[in-house]
Amino acid sequence: MTAQTSPTEAPPENGSKREASKEDRRKRILNAASDLIRETGDTGLSMRAIAARANVSLATPYNLFGSKRAVVMAILENVREFHERFSGLKDLSAIERIFSALHITLSYHAADPDFYRAIWLSLLNPSGVAADDLRAELITPQSARFWRSLLEEAASEGAFDPDIDLKLLQLDLGGRFAAVMLTWVMGGCTADELEAAACFGYASSLCASASPGWRPRLRQRMLEFQAQVLSARPR
C-alpha cells in the first residue's frame, strides 16, 4: 500500500523547491541592496531600484521583508555572528575582550569599506529619515549593556581606579569611537588604519582610568596600537 498525498497538501519536494526559490530571491534582494548602497553611498534606497537590480517584481521585496528598512537591517544581520565569535574569548581578561570586540566589529568594515562608509554617512546625517531608522536599530540598549558589562567586569578585575565613574567612561569610549569613524568617513584615515586608531583611542582612555597595577599594561597596549597606526599611515 502506497502513501497517499492529501489533495490540499503539496508534496514535500514541491515545498522544498518553493523554500529554495524563496531563499534565492531573498539573497538576490539583499545582494542588490548591498550593491546599490556601495555604488550610491546612500542607504535611502527605493524598493523599485532594489527590485529592478534583483530582477524580481516590485511586490517581492515587500512580500519577503515588509519594508525598505527591514531590507537594510537584514543586510546588517551580523549581530549573531559577532556574538558567536565573541563567545570564544572567555579566557581573556575583560580589558582584552574590549579590544577583541573592537577587532571583530571593525573586521566587517575592513572587509566591506564602501558599504560601511555609506552606513556611517547615513548615521551621521542629522536630518535623514534613513539615519533615524539606522540609529534606532544599531544604537540599542542591548548594545549599551554589552559594553557596560565589559567595563563592569574589568572594574571587578581591578583594572580601574575606584573613583572612575563607569557611565562617564563608557560615554568617553563611545565618543572616541564615533570620532574615529567620522575621521575615516571624511577621508582622514584609511581602512587599514581604522582598527588601530580606534584601539589607540580606547587604550588612551582606559590607561587614563586605570588602577596603578593595570596602568603599565594599558600604556604598553596604547604604544602598540600607536605603532600600528603609524605603520599603516601612508607616507
User: What pLDDT shows up at residue 1?
Assistant: 38
Separation CA 55–CA 188 (nearest Å): 38
What percentage of residues in the chain have a pLDDT greater than 70? 83
User: What pLDDT shows up at residue 180?
Assistant: 92
The CATH architecture one would assign to domain 79-232 is: Orthogonal Bundle (1.10)
Burial of residue 199 (number of CB atoms within 10 Å: 0-12, 13-18, 19+): buried
- Give per-residue burial for 134-165: e unless 16+ CB within 10 Å, then b: beeeeeeeeeeeebeebbeebbeeebbeeebe
When pLDDT is averaged across residues 186-201 and rounded to a whole number, the result is 91
User: What pLDDT shows up at residue 16?
Assistant: 81
Given this chain, do its domains 12-75 and 79-232 carry the same CATH topology?
A: no
User: What pLDDT shows up at residue 105?
Assistant: 86
The residue behind cell 550610491 is: 40
User: What pLDDT shows up at residue 85?
Assistant: 75
User: What pLDDT shows up at residue 6?
Assistant: 45
Which tens digit of pLDDT belongs to each residue from 19-64?
Answer: 888 889 988 998 898 888 888 887 777 889 999 999 999 999 999 9
Joined together, the cell numbers standing for residue 187 give: 577621508
Residue ranges of the domains in the chain?
A: 12-75, 79-232
CA angle 162, 167, 168 (to 5 degrees): 85
If you average pLDDT over every residue of the chain, what do you get? 84
Which tens digit of pLDDT belongs to each residue from 151-182?
Answer: 999 999 999 999 999 999 999 999 999 899 88
Query: In the CATH hierarchy, which fold is given to the domain comprising 12-75?
Result: Arc Repressor Mutant, subunit A (1.10.10)
